[in-house]
Structure 1
């Protein structure tokens, strides 16, 4: 039986935490609540929706079909609530409050920090939340305010600025080359230790289509995290793709087989409703300026 009372948002937040962690105790630690309180929230939500949401197993609490139906709605509530709090945190006429930025793992960890440092030095009341992940967050659902994307935006309600193309090439550390030599042809790559992703993504499939020689190549080091792959390359584990402008910052990285190059189109995007928000406007402009410098610096070095 469905309860006539509307569930508190706190119940949905607790529900998402239990979904993520699979136990009441882990959800309680994340939320700063006691385990009995988390249990009461789940019980109250189950009473409100008239369905069991979790079943116990040796692996922990497993979501029922009813829980999986509720999940996207609870996630929408979470992103909307977070966007509301960010909007409320800023004033109308000055740059203050919180802005949430979504960017790929490499861009977020390697390229944006100095750009954001200059921005926050100029606007000390600006608070930045950075989601550095290769997952694409939905700007229309306000999962983020501004995004740096490697694909042209399709939604009409988004304000977008095209930054240009970031090139990726094959690189290896000098220590690796000293031990294993340098491949002189694409075919010789099969004789080397290669670094790459542990799973197929749209980006990997595009690479395979453009460079068929990559299909079936044995990887000596695999990871789902871009930063782990970069660190493995810099440690001399093997040969891998690396953003050219980043690689040029490290004199120990050697560019191999220049004919093998991948071009990544880059955009800065935000919801058009945020263009009058001072904190979002200055952040958008700072990202555009900083990333244009990043891309142009690479182009200048390529021509030198």
Structure 2
């Protein structure tokens, strides 16, 4: 057995794992199916194990493939970070910047901010990872992150962009059939609620305000913030939203029981090794400003202190 297989073989392995067949992997890689089959055979020979077996449903990964998968994913992330790092010189704004953020921010907030930046700096290309899973900035899974919590890692530079208020909202179409509640008790008794499935974010936020909510009280359960927002907009019921987003819906969503609220800080984060890379710094600054404008436009930023002054470099 030898482990000297080159990276291209692992990239092919990942493609087969993601696509589920040799032909689909070949299309994704832009190569021929026999080439993919040959590369998988080479990797199996190098590792001394079988990675895939044939079944009626197609290729089935073996236990060895499942064991190798997370390590190959790490290799891919490292290779992508390397490519981004050398895609432009430090003082050249042309190149790729990878951004990670929540689904809601990635779909609803980020596009107009980057559209403005693209008009001023067309040489920057973007890779967007909208996920509610916090990607590892220390491993360089992304160049810039938008976090709804303050990072503590010493190797990261973080700037608090704004504070975003969360509240409960409903669409006008829903409220045409269900009058606004005047108490939390009437909300539970007379309205369909939208909230978390396995998560406890909404329940915990309400409990901090002595509003007791259980999972069985929620009629639409999903841990996707984007799906929750879509359900509110569609008129399914009452659910959580960032207050600025509620005003962007046409027609705007109506606030329900406005004294029920939660605040979350939005931080823009990058690795300290990237602070001198011009294009990354441009994106970092644009996101900081854009988020502050997003929050302030709808009256959510409570302090007049400049967000550009609230930059933290965590000590080692």
Length-normalised TM-score, structure 1: 0.90
Change over 3 Å in CA distance of 1:284–1:76 after alignment to 2:
same
The residue number in structure 2 matching 1:286 is: 286
Q: Are residues 1:215 and 2:199 paired?
A: no
Q: Please report the RMSD computed on the Cα atoms of aligned residues, expressed in angstroms.
A: 2.3
Length-normalised TM-score, structure 2: 0.86
**Structure 2: gaps spanning 5 or more residues:** 304-316
Aligned partners of 2:200, 2:215: CA distance in 1, in Å?
17
Change over 3 Å in CA distance of 1:294–1:58 after alignment to 2:
same
Aligned partners of 2:64, 2:206: CA distance in 1, in Å?
39
How many correspondences in the alignment? 300
Aligned partners of 1:116, 1:11: CA distance in 2, in Å?
35
Report the CA distance between 1:60 and its aligned residue: 4.0
Report the CA distance between 1:42 and its aligned residue: 1.5
The residue number in structure 1 matching 2:236 is: 237
1:110-189, aligned counterparts within 5 Å?
A: 110-189=108-187
Aligned partners of 2:146, 2:164: CA distance in 1, in Å?
12
Change over 3 Å in CA distance of 1:302–1:143 after alignment to 2:
closer
**Structure 1 counterpart SS, 2:219:** strand
* CA deviation string 1:102-122 (max 9, x = no partner): 111111111111111111111
Q: Are residues 1:273 and 2:273 paired?
A: yes
* CA deviation string 1:25-83 (max 9, x = no partner): 33223222333322222211111111122334455433333223322221121111111
1:245-260, aligned counterparts within 5 Å?
A: 245-250=244-249, 251-260=251-260
1:187–1:213 Cα contact (<8 Å) kept: no
Aligned partners of 1:193, 1:299: CA distance in 2, in Å?
28
Report the CA distance between 1:132 and its aligned residue: 1.5
Aligned partners of 1:225, 1:57: CA distance in 2, in Å?
34
